[in-house]
Structure 1
Amino acid sequence: MKRVLVVDDDLVICKVLVKILESLGYECEDAADGVEAVARLQAADFDVILTDMMMPRMDGMQLLSHVKSSYPGVDVIVITGHTDTFVYSNIINAGGTDFISKPFESDELEAKLSRIFRERKLIQGLENEISEHLEAEEKLLAAHREVAAANQAKDLLINDLYATMGEMLSKRDHYTFEHATRVAEISKRIGIALGLPQEEVEILERACLVHDIGKVAIPDDILLKPGQFDAQDRKLMRVHPRVGADLFTRKHHDSRIAFIIRHHHERLNGSGYPDGLRGDSLGILVRIVAVADIYEAFVARRPYKKPMSKDEALDLLRMEARQGLVDKMVVTVLDEVLRDWDPLTISREFAADYMVDLELFRRKAYFREPLTGFYNYRYLYFLDDTHVLGRRERPFELLLTNFVDLPECYRRMGQILTEQVLDEIGQGLNDAVEEFNAQEGSGEDVVRLFSRSGDYLIYAECGEGQIDHLFIAISAHLARACDEWQISSHPYSQRFGKGYSLEKALTELLRC
């Protein structure tokens, strides 16, 4: 039920407003002034407050200030007959949602409340999509259709929604959001310089704002990694164009948006990804975005690399054009566009103070532990969900080091020394795993090491004979370490058949 608090020192007006609102299906309470309204807010939740301005003890402006600081999620509509004293701009600047002048018709009040609840519904829908990742497009495009149907300013609303999707991505990775904004502006300017129709320029801009939206599916450990990618990182990151395109292919009426998202990493000679398209099959819009995307990545500052100068970046793009990777004409036009404009002048600060704290937290809370470099065992679930693991095609084995007396070790050696010893043991295990993978020579990690609450978990996909050799080496390492530090380890392992559920396998192993 939608709840409204009516605040007015005129009892008659209060009762009339409550009666009108209840007839419209709202649940209402009333208060005689701001002080009484504060008490109501402390006792119950409300969606909207309708308040008069001129009241004893605490007037409407004071109440509005209190609500915005203590209940930021509550919308406030100011109702007053003193329009010479309280003007619309003052109310909105103070945080009010809307303004109604006395006298007014009930239809006006109904329309304003309907608009507020429509907007609240839209915002709630967008927030839910962020947490649902791959289901984001379903609710977002539903919100898109709902807003477009309710408002004749369709084009403006569509642009706003694309910007919102870009901002959604910024809540996970601010660099990617800033990158998308710059690529959109670069591509738009190239399109205009090439004389593309206005409609195609708009498609370019919209697609660029969301061209990396598929990164919502990439784990923080990779998306926010402050260093160079390894082979596994690159393999997972290359999924994002497909994820982003899938979001739009099923729902968006214009297939060009999805095509740009999916193919902006393709190259003219077929060496790009995900589909290896080449030549004319890419089309001019993708060619423009590809060049803009590369240029921005060259010149932008990132934690893991120094930015190139404009001339260095253009020289590299010209070389790639000569090699048949990117469109030479587009690179030439980009050079012209950049003569009196620098895309780096476009910057996006965090939309809210709390996002700074969230961003800092994310960069600490990777699956990979920052001090040791070990992956938390939960990373296995992600690898499994994205079909990186080969358990569906071949058997696999799990081994747990099973340190049985850690509480005693913490008591005897102290927390710091015990954790240092565990880290040292883990590094030895990691060396054994890396040596085994190198000897395997397949280029794939057939054995992976993970940490788990003071223990280590090993996941392996290879023949039983190979596993035996690895586990003998691991057991020997554990025995030496345990003798040196008087730590007891009773490692045990279990082999599972092809296609066996990873979740069930872990449950069975950890239950032993």
Structure 2
Amino acid sequence: MNPAILLVDFVSADREGLQSFLQSQQCDVDTAANGESALSCCLEMQPDLVLLYDSLPDIGSFELCRRLKEDPLNQLTPVVLVKPSPDQWDVQRGREAGAMDIWATPPSLWDLLGRVETLLRLKKYMEEQAKSVVFSLARSVDSKQNLRNGHSKRLVGFAEQLGESLGLGEEDLHELRIASWLHDIGKIGVPESILLKPGPLNAEERRIMQEHPIIGEKICAPLKSLRRILPVIRHHHEKMDGSGYPDGLRGEDIPLKARILQIADIYDALTTNRPYRGALPSEEALRILFSEVEEGWLDASVVLKFSQICRENEYLPSGKRTTLTPDYV
């Protein structure tokens, strides 16, 4: 995939020439000629680099840089300010606005390309390091709920087989695998006293627990490589009748990958030991899934397909039959 660059400058022959040159070097380049279009383009294209020239008619470059960096989605996006002859005061103001660097107008396009390539390598490294931290946080959540240790690993297998049986392509399956690992990362912000409570949650505890999809989305949002799984993280607790959280989505408005993940997640919660009960047998867990279809909560076609997979493969875990206290949040 080519790196994406947003070039913010007034319309001129110089801008068009720079855009053509960068495109010839295998970069995807979009342009913006004012502050508002720069903000909307940045949100839409999610660039790997913003080159912000000090030439806009409606807003100063320092103020626009500050507004760009205020958006959490742009936290890892390098913004470079380009001025004809920046001084030390400009450098200080640029850093305060969140710019990664401030450049004098490069003497040649090739000189600019060298600097751009260096920043793109740095951006890639930053993204990889941040992604590694995010996965470490997700693993810590998985181990924190130690009675469900290995939950995310099992979930990857369940969700992948279900996704394949529903005809998802390889790219969607890859996103589903990542979402399976990261879906509960927002629980890093939930106190252990709630996560490990040996019994049903009260109203306030449930409210706190129900914030975890939004927290997870915010944690993952700055990473461009995770943007496509954000709807899965946010919506894997929605219900088909609109009674789920956090947004009360209904039916087909709930992303299919979120519906797949939800069913696999509930199944694993039911067939795994919890603080307040032992693991349920596979057949009882499936019975509960179908009862939630009847309640209008789960996608009937996805639950039916999942039950077929379970009965055909006989690989899914089962345990001693116990009285159920549903609390798989």
Normalization by structure 2: what TM-score? 0.54
State the alpha-carbon separation in 1 of the partners of residues 133 and 172 from structure 2.
Answer: 18
SS of corresponding position for 2:259: helix
Distance 1:240-1:175 versus aligned 2 partners, 3 A rule: farther
Q: Once the two structures are superposed, what CA deviation does each residue of 1:473-504 show, in whole Å capped at 9, x if it has no partner? A: xxxxxxxxxxxxxxxxxxxxxxxxxxxxxxxx
**What are the within-5 Å matches in structure 2 for residues 16-165 of structure 1?**
149=124, 163-165=135-137
Q: Deviations over 1:65-109 (max 9, x none)?
A: xxxxxxxxxxxxxxxxxxxxxxxxxxxxxxxxxxxxxxxxxxxxx
The aligned residue for residue 273 of structure 2 is: 301
Q: Greater Rg, structure 1 or structure 2? A: 1
User: Which of 268, 291, 298 does residue 263 from structure 2 map onto?
Assistant: 291
Match of 2:315 in 1: 342
For these two proteins, the number of residue pairs brought into alignment is 202
Give the Cα–Cα distance (whole angstroms) in 2 for the partners of residues 288 and 210 of structure 1.
15
Render the CA deviation track for 1:422-442: whole Å, top value 9, x for unaligned. xxxxxxxxxxxxxxxxxxxxx
- What SS does the aligned partner of 1:276 have? coil
Residue 187 of structure 2: aligned partner:
215
Residues 1:325 and 2:293 are matched in the alignment: no
Larger relative contact order (Cα-Cα within 8 Å, sequence gap ≥ 6): 2
Aligned residue among 236, 242, 265 for 2:237: 265
174, 182, 187: which is aligned to 2:154?
182
**Shift in Å at residue 183 of structure 1?**
1.8
CA contact (8 A) 1:299 1:308 kept: yes
3-state DSSP of counterpart to 1:344: coil
Q: What runs of 5+ residues in structure 2 fail to find an aligned partner?
A: 1-71, 77-119, 319-329
Distance 1:170 1:179 in 2: 7
| Alpha-carbon distance, 1:148 to partner | 8.8
Contact (CA 8 Å) 2:164, 2:173: kept in 1 or not? yes
Which residue number in structure 1 is paired with residue 144 of structure 2?
172
Shift in alpha-carbon separation, 1:163–1:253, aligned structure 2, 3 A: closer
| Structure 1 unaligned blocks of 5 or more | 1-134, 140-144, 346-512
> Which of 243, 251, 263 pairs up with 1:279?
251
Given that 2:282 and 2:317 are in contact with CA atoms closer than 8 Å, whether structure 1 keeps it comes out as: no
Residue 277 of structure 1 deviates from its aligned partner by: 0.5
* Percent identity (aligned): 32
Aligned letter for 2:201? F
| 1:279-307, Cα deviation, whole Å (9 max, x unpaired) | 11112111101111111111111121132
Cα deviation, residue 342, structure 1: 2.9
C-alpha RMSD over aligned residues: 3.2
Please give the alpha-carbon distance, in whole angstroms, between the structure 2 residues aligned to 1:252 and 1:176.
30
Q: Partners in 1 of 2:164 and 2:147 — Cα distance?
A: 26
CA distance in 2, matches of 1:237, 1:214: 9
Please name the residue that 2:209 is paired with: 237
Q: TM-score scaled by structure 1?
A: 0.36
Residue in 2 aligned with 1:200?
Answer: 172
Whether the 8 Å CA contact 2:155–2:265 is kept in 1: the answer is yes
One-letter amino acid matched to 2:317: L
Distance 2:133 2:314 in 1: 27
Q: Determine the C-alpha separation between the residues in 1 that align with 2:306 and 2:215.
A: 28
Partner of 1:392: none
**What one-letter code is carried by the residue in structure 2 that aligns with 1:342?**
Y
Tell whether the 8 Å contact from 1:183 to 1:292 is kept in structure 2 after alignment: yes
Distance in 1 of aligned mates of 2:278 and 2:123: 43
Cα 1:173–1:315, aligned 2, differ >3 Å: closer, same or farther? closer
Does the CA contact (< 8 Å) of 1:167 and 1:177 recur in 2?
A: no
Q: Give the CA deviation at 1:233.
A: 1.5
2:281–2:317: 8 Å Cα contact kept in structure 1?
no
1:491 maps to which residue? none
Q: Which amino acid aligns with 1:298?
A: L
- What secondary structure sits across from 2:207 in the alignment? helix
Task: Provide the C-alpha distance between the structure 2 equivalents of 1:331 and 1:305, rounded to a whole number of angstroms.
Answer: 23
Q: Is the 8 A contact 2:232 2:257 kept in 1?
A: yes
Which residue in 1 is equivalent to 2:29? none
Q: Is the 8 A contact 2:143 2:150 kept in 1?
A: no
2:220 is the counterpart of 1:248: yes
| Cα distance change of structure 1 residues 175 and 245 upon mapping to structure 2, 3 Å threshold | farther
Tell me which amino acid in the other structure corresponds to 1:278: R
Deviations 1:177-220 (A, max 9, x none): 52222222211110111121011001001011010000110112
Q: C-alpha offsets along residues 323-348 of structure 1, whole Å, 9 cap, x if unaligned?
A: 32111111111112213143439xxx
What does the per-residue CA deviation read over 1:88-138, in whole Å, with 9 as the maximum and x for residues that have no partner? xxxxxxxxxxxxxxxxxxxxxxxxxxxxxxxxxxxxxxxxxxxxxxx9xx7
* TM-aligned CA deviation for residue 322 of structure 1: 2.9
